[in-house]
Amino acid sequence: MSLFRSRRSFKPVAMDPARELPRELLTELLTDAHWAPTHGLTQPWRFQVFATLPARERLAAGLQLIYDAITPTAKRDPAKRAKLAASPRSAPVVIALLAHVQPGGKIPDWEEIAATSCAAQNLMLSAHAHGVASYWSSPPAATSPEFVRWLVLDETHRAMGLLYLGYASPSAAVPTSTRLPLNERVTWHEV
């Protein structure tokens, strides 16, 4: 089956936290991401890489602080809060994905976010080609302006969630996934 169709989202809990990704491999994946298409060559993607345990612990604590700050008391869920910290401990690499936008500039925000999404897909497909599992996660804590500020970035950045990378645990089964019949998503214009 093709690379595109066999890529699966692996939850961080299914990744082996003890098996680190070599820095050269991580750089290779990021370079593939960096070659995504971009209107006006603005290259709007920004990758903040957390690839050591201390860095991932700091991220875990930061996400919980942001969760507490942005979640109304009535909606707080201890399980969701715990998962925000557990996931960065499970995966050996977490990348905070951000798009840089230009308020009032020539390229609208949606194009910069679309280009950054292309970079994310490049990264996930490159990971898959190298036998590395990936998972894009978008909890409110990691897509909020508060997260942008926590990363010490200004308001011209949009947080687009977290990309988890790691080798699948030997015991982890490859997740299954489905898609609707293609003809439910394609309209052929014949005339």
Contact set with ligand FMN (CB under 6 A): 8-9, 136-139, 161, 175, 177
Nearest to 93 by CA among 28, 26, 144, 142: 26
Distance CA 101, CA 98 (A): 10
Q: Which is nearer to ligand FMN, 20 or 109 (CB)?
A: 109
Beta bridge partner(s), residue 93: 165
Taking the complex as a whole, the smallest distance from the CB of residue 189 to ligand FMN amounts, in Å, to: 27
Taking the complex as a whole, the smallest distance from the CB of residue 18 to ligand FMN amounts, in Å, to: 23
Q: Which is nearer to ligand FMN, 27 or 177 (CB)?
A: 177
Q: Which is nearer to ligand FMN, 26 or 120 (CB)?
A: 120
Tell me, what DSSP letter sits at residue 17?
T
Edge to edge, the sheet with strand 45-50 lists: 45-50, 93-100, 157-166, 133-137
Phi, psi for residue 46 in degrees, rounded to 5: -130, 130
Give residue number: closest CB to ligand FMN: 177
Taking the complex as a whole, the smallest distance from the CB of residue 43 to ligand FMN amounts, in Å, to: 19
Distance CA 156, CA 144 (A): 13
Taking the complex as a whole, the smallest distance from the CB of residue 190 to ligand FMN amounts, in Å, to: 31
